[in-house]
Each structure stands twice: as structure tokens, then as C-alpha cells.
Structure 1
Amino acid sequence: MSEDLYDQVLEMDGEERYDYFLDAVVAEREIWILVNAASQFLKIVSEEDRVAYVPVWPSDAFAREYAKGAEDLSPKAISLPDFFKKWVPGLTRDGIDIGVIPGTERELWITEPEQLKRDLQEVLSTPGF
């Protein structure tokens, strides 16, 4: 991924980044998260909004860029079938939302796991994918 693309995506508003994420994830059939050395996924808790979310990215490069400077975090891919079958029910049960392509201090699209699943399935069902 070029640095230009990375910067371009981060300059988008939350909804545009969400749409980009959906298309990119469906094309690659993977969602990327960050995990620590103990394989625990990164979860961010916003005290201000009282929301807990897992940040997700459409590629290894986006996740790696976000983790720069955090030596104990590394990108990990989750296949779409695993995400649908294991992650969505688990995150829903635990009350954890999903933050799509965090990066700058700009707005962040946060969604419920079931909603992201429905949106991804909708893109998957469109002709051309």
C-alpha cells in the first residue's frame, strides 16, 4: 500500500472510510486486527462515550501503520467466515463494538458487530463481488 493511499483513506470522513473498508474487506475476504504477544486482541475503551470497541482495518498495511511505535502489537488476519461465525457472536455477547479504520483524531465509524456483518454480506451479494 502506498503512503498516498493510506493518507487518502485517513482523510475521508467516517462514512467514506466505512464504505472503503467494506469494499476492501470483501475483495480480500479478511479483516485485520492487532494482537499483543499473548495473542490478545487490541480493545479500546472510550471513557468519553463509554464505548468499548475493537479497531479493524482492511489490510495488514493499515494495521501495521496504526501500530507504529507500539512494539508489542502486530497485525493478525481474520477470515470472513471466522469473523461471521466466531467473532460477531463473541463481540456481541461481550458488548464490544467495532471501530473501522481508526487512525487520526477525526471521527471514527463505530458499529455493532451484527450490523457490520449485515453490511459485509450485502456487499458480498452485489454482482461483481
Structure 2
Amino acid sequence: MMKKCPVCQTEVVGRSDKIYCSPACKSSQQYEQRLEQEAFYFEVDRQLKKNRRILRKYNQVGMTTLRQEVLLAEGFNPRFFTHYWKNGKGQVYFFCYEFGFLALQEQGKEKFVLVTWQPYMQH
């Protein structure tokens, strides 16, 4: 039974446990696997940067409230954040770097309170 290289489909000659026909094919396969593994990292990083840009755009004064649909329409994804802070009332603010948001329901409408990170939020 002849084994075929998973990269180029040529015959693999040599030891019985050999998988690739050449070091070049082995390297190519490992490179592709690394790209696939890092693709998730790049996707998360891209979304975090997008979220930060959107939060910064709508929060020019340090604190504002706006409908969730406005942010979501621009591609904001609230599941991506860098850290969180819980205030004394137990409300959890999620942050994308220095810009944060708190999900609220006000008069039956889903809203976000947008804030910027403050020194007192450290603890």
C-alpha cells in the first residue's frame, strides 16, 4: 500500500511512519495549520478594534446613552470586550480598552450607556 503526501499527493518514499514526501511539503502544511490557528486571534483582534472605534465615535463627552441598534448597525459586537468593571450597584460595564458600555433596558428599549475608563475603576 503506497502512502500519498497530504500536501501534493505524490508517493511518500522512506520510513513507514513518514507522512510527507519532502521537508518543503511538511513546512507548507505546518505553515497552513499555524495560519488557521491564528485566524481566530486575528478575528477577535479585528472585532475588538472595531468595537473600540465605534464606542469612541459615539462617546465624545465621556458618558452618553444610545439605542443598541445604532451600535449594532455599525458592526458593534457586545460579546467582544477586553475587561469589565462592576460598580457598587452590581452593574457590569464591559470595556474595549478604555471605552466601555453597559446594557440597559429603558422604557422598553434596549440601550447602551457609554463611558470612558476612569481611575477610580481600578479596584
- Normalising by the smaller structure, the TM-score range is under 0.3
Larger radius of gyration: 2
Higher relative contact order (CA 8 A, sep 6+): 1
**Higher-helix-fraction structure:** 1
TM-score normalised according to structure 1 size: 0.27
